[in-house]
């Protein structure tokens, strides 16, 4: 049986913690009194269908000051390189790639795999092999990394969720590249 995920990651320096558009990062949450008493004051608000954090200006300023280089933005040619590498990575790993959207500042991937592999490792493989492919085409970013650390890994519980994720990827505005597997959607 295949298990599916919607994987998302930003390129380095984009969509920082505290962003006014919303963000997912560990933040202090004093609203959860029991957790505060237990010494757990940081939480990540990333459960699908629930509100996420937005507009923490001090956190955003701090994140900007900590950048080791300009935010990474890719172009159409680099997006094509990434798509090819994502397809090769999925094929090599035996994963089922259903949809990819590559924007100048972030990516979305809908992917399936047998069993229940670690989605953190899956996203890490896409990013690691994608970094090698991008670096082989030209200069590395001043930050020495193409990607923001981590990313979103949403398990898609059923066929309706998979189709909704594919449609979400397909409808990305300002995408440099959108790829949908044949026979999907």
Check whether 27 has a pLDDT greater than 60. no
pLDDT-derived band at 12, boundaries 50, 70, 90: confident
Is residue 106's pLDDT more than 60? yes
When pLDDT is averaged across residues 178-185 and rounded to a whole number, the result is: 89
Q: Which CATH class is domain 2-14+70-180?
A: alpha beta
Q: What is the 3-state secondary structure (H, E, C) of the chain?
A: CEEEEEEEEEECCCCCCCCCCCECCEEECCCCHHHHHCCCCEEECCCCCCCCECCCHHHHHHHHHCCCCCCCCCCHHHHHHHHHHHHHHHHHHCCEEEEEEECCCEEEEEEEEECCCCHHHHHHHHHHHHHHHHHHCCCCCCCCCCECCCCEEEEECCHHHHHHHHHHHHCCCCCCEEEECCCCC
Mean pLDDT of the chain: 83
Predicted pLDDT at 142: 84
Residue 134's pLDDT is: 97
Q: pLDDT category, 29, cuts 50, 70, 90?
A: low
Per-residue pLDDT of 73-91, as tens digits, reads: 999 999 999 999 999 999 9
Lowest mean pLDDT: which of 41-50, 75-84, 133-142, 175-184? 41-50
Let me know: does 20 contact 60? Beta carbons within 8 Å. Answer: yes
Has residue 95 got a pLDDT over 70?
yes
Domain ranges of the chain: 2-14+70-180, 26-65
Counting residues of the chain whose pLDDT is more than 70, the rounded percentage is 70
- Greater pLDDT, 30 or 168: 168
For residues 67 and 83, which has the higher predicted lDDT (pLDDT)?
Answer: 83
pLDDT number for residue 36: 46
pLDDT digits (tens, 9 = 90+) for 122-167: 999 999 999 999 999 988 888 888 998 889 999 999 999 999 999 9
């Amino acid at each position: 049986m295949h298990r599916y995920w919607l994987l998302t990651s930003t390129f380095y320096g984009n969509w920082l913690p505290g962003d006014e558009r919303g963000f997912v990062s560990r933040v202090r949450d004093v609203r959860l009194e029991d957790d505060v008493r237990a010494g757990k004051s940081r939480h990540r608000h990333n459960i699908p269908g629930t509100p996420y954090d937005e507009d923490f200006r001090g956190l955003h300023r701090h994140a900007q000051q900590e950048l080791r280089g300009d935010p990474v933005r890719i172009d159409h040619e680099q997006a094509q390189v990434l798509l090819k590498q994502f397809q090769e990575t999925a094929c090599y790993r035996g994963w089922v790639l259903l949809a990819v959207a590559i924007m100048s500042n972030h990516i979305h991937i809908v992917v399936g795999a047998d069993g229940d592999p670690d989605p953190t490792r899956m996203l890490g493989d896409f990013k690691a092999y994608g970094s090698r492919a991008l670096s082989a085409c030209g200069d590395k970013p001043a930050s020495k990394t193409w990607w923001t650390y981590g990313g979103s890994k949403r398990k898609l519980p059923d066929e309706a969720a998979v189709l909704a994720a594919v449609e979400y990827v397909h409808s990305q505005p300002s995408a440099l590249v959108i790829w949908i597997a044949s026979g999907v959607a």
